[in-house]
Structure 1
Amino acid sequence: MASDGEKISAYEYLRGEALREIGAKIRAAREERGLSQAALAGMVSTTQQTIDRLERGKSKQSRYRDHVLRVLELPLPTEQEVNAIAIGEAHRRERLISKAALSDLSSGRTIPHVQEIPVYKLEYSSEKTGALRRPWTPVDYLTRPQPLFRVEGAYGLIVLSGAMEPSMFEGDTALVNPHIVPRPRNEIILIGEDDDNSGNEILLRSFVSQDAREWSVSSPSGGAAETLSKDDWPECHVIVGKFTRI
Structure 2
Amino acid sequence: MCEIFCFNSNTPKKINECLQCFYNHSEDHPHGWGLANMQSNEFVIDKEPVKATCSQHLKDILSHPVIGKNVFAHIRLATVGEIVSPNCHPFTKADDNNRSWMLIHNGTIFDYPKLDEYIDKESGDTDSERILLYIIDKINEFEKSKDAPSTIKERFNILTEIVEDLSKNNKLNLMIYDGDLTYIHSNMKDSLYYLKNEEGFLVATTPLTDDENWKPAETNKLFGLIDGNIIFESGEHENEFILTEEHEKSMDDFLKSITRDEIND
Q: TM-score, normalised by structure 2?
A: 0.27
Could you say which structure has the larger radius of gyration? 1
Name the structure where strand makes up a greater proportion of residues: 2
